[in-house]
Amino acid sequence: MDCCGHHALTRRHWMWGTVLASLGAMLGASAGRDAAAAQSADDAAAARDVLRRFISVDVHSHGGTTGIISMAAPNDDLATGMRAGSLAVACLADVPDGPVLGRNAAGVLGATRTPGPGELYKYHLNRLAWMDEMVARHGLRRVHTAAELEAAHAAGQPAIVADVEGLDFLERKLERLEEAHQRGVRHVQLVHYTPNDIGDYQTGAVTHDGLTSFGAEAIQACHKLGLVCDVAHATEDTVKQAVKVATKPLLLSHTAIADSKAMGPTPLRGRQVSRDHARAIAETGGSIGIWHFFPSLDKYVDGLKEMVDVVGVDHVSIGTDQQIARGSVQTYDQWAQLVAAMLRGGFTPDEAGKIAGGNYLRIFRSAVG
């Protein structure tokens, strides 16, 4: 699972990063400032080089403050930000249960009412139409195959993978999954914040003891159609049962390790995952995306390292979840700075390339073709 002892290797890099930071602190103030400026120019150049050599993918996004969950009309903001930060691909997620979501007193999202029959399906179709308009008029291409992903990166054209966060629109009708695929969707998440017939989710009451038999059928349908199967938000039991059913790598697109020191105390604790939960995903050949809810880019990198220390560098990705709440990658023009922070934090260019996109490309190629 942890291919070729990455743990020892990556830990050594972290140590070197610390030594370099201490040396920097020992330099005189003005010399330190000059050195810091030169260093930051070097970091930026190194990050751009990584982003040229390796495809980069935000494995879970809503496209920023004017994105798909906002009330904004389709617009150029996403493509403009991606170009500025050299992000190749965003998995742009429609949120079918959006109309029933709200925050409780602690600021935690949840369903506030039971949706009416067909209500979430109708809203999901409306959001797919919004996505069509983004692709038709606002500088993004939608990719359907691994070859198209790589071609978009090679051409320097920002691309989206059409993604759906929660199969709450299915209402037990798998033909709606097929319809989503026909509409260009290539990535779906099984559960979100609304009780459904698929399985239990982390922030809700346990009602199914994990994955249902319909949930197992939905995973098999994902494999058959060619959809990345994302188990973010699912309980550990649901995930472990999904791992038994899955014959392709699974993605868990946005989370952090349980009790993450890099995040600190957070109302999102119920959405973090245990070490066993993370290892179950890695065992499928999959990857765990780390969201951007950290106080700084350097802390974000610490959050990536926390997960790498558990599952290895081949099983960690970046899934910002922007812009569900403020985080350390507010807009995509910061993407290159995130990669620079990864290099500064001790990741090699190859490791940064895997986390920034290579691991997702592997999963996408296996699931979608």
By the criterion CB under 5 A, which residues form the site for Zn ion?
Answer: 165, 321
CB within 8 Å of 173: residues ≥ 6 apart: none
**Side-chain half-sphere of 150: how many Cα atoms within 13 Å?**
10
Nearer to Zn ion, 285 or 327 (CB): 327
Nearer to Zn ion, 92 or 149 (CB): 92
Three-class SS state of 127 = helix
**Side-chain half-sphere of 160: how many Cα atoms within 13 Å?**
29
Q: Which residue, judged by CB position, is nearest to Zn ion in the bound state?
A: 321
CB within 8 Å of 265: residues ≥ 6 apart: none
Nearer to Zn ion, 335 or 347 (CB): 335
* Cα distances (Å, whole numbers) of residue 171 to 110, 121, 166, 174, 221: 19, 8, 12, 8, 15
Sign of CA dihedral 60, 65, 71, 73: negative
201: left (phi over 0), alpha (psi -120 to 50) or beta: beta
Three-class SS state of 214 = helix
| Structure token pair of residue 265 | 């105390």
Strands 251-255 and 287-290, how do they pair? parallel
Nearer to Zn ion, 170 or 268 (CB): 268
Nearer to Zn ion, 168 or 321 (CB): 321
Q: Provide the β-strand partners of residue 234.
A: 201
Q: What are the backbone dihedrals phi and psi of residue 254, each rounded to the nearest 5 degrees, phi first?
A: -150, 115
Nearer to Zn ion, 50 or 231 (CB): 231
Nearer to Zn ion, 281 or 343 (CB): 281
Which residue is associated with the tokens 């099984």?
A: 190
98: left (phi over 0), alpha (psi -120 to 50) or beta: alpha
Q: Provide the β-strand partners of residue 110.
A: 102
Name the minimum Å distance from CB 60 to Zn ion: 6
Nearer to Zn ion, 165 or 302 (CB): 165
